[in-house]
Amino acid sequence: MGAIKPFNYSDFELSVALGARALNHPCRVKMMSLIRENKGITCVDLAKFFQMSKPAIRDHVEKLKDAGYIYVEYSPHCYKLSIDEESHERFQSFQQFFAGNPASQFYVSIKH
């Protein structure tokens, strides 16, 4: 994450920023769904699903892992992935926060 100026950001605000950054690509959002539905899915499985290279998948997985959304279990010749349930609850609280945010309502109104 880039440099953060020393304002009085709450832990929640910093957490939202980190979490949002990790999910700012539709591929990573879809990965979250696939990992949640298929505990123990591997990077090779994701590479086949998305028709992407393994290094590209690994970069996306690292961003999700760094944000704390997923666990990565290192097995011989593959990485097994699973959802961090506590982080998933945090993600859902972000969704609720943004759903009730007046700015998000403004965005929805101008989008239509």
Q: Which region, left, alpha or beta, applies to residue 36 given φ > 0 means left and ψ of -120 to 50 means alpha?
A: alpha
- Which domains are present in the chain? 11-95 (1.10.10.10)
CA distances for 31 relative to 43, 49, 50, angstroms:
10, 10, 9
What amino acid occupies position 87? S
* pTM exceeds 0.85 for this model: no
As a whole number of Å, the CA-based R_g of the chain is: 16
Per-residue pLDDT tens for 29-57?
A: 899 889 989 988 999 999 999 999 999 99
User: Residue 108 — very low, low, confident or very high, per pLDDT cuts 50/70/90?
Assistant: very low
Cβ distance 28 to 22 under 8 Å? yes
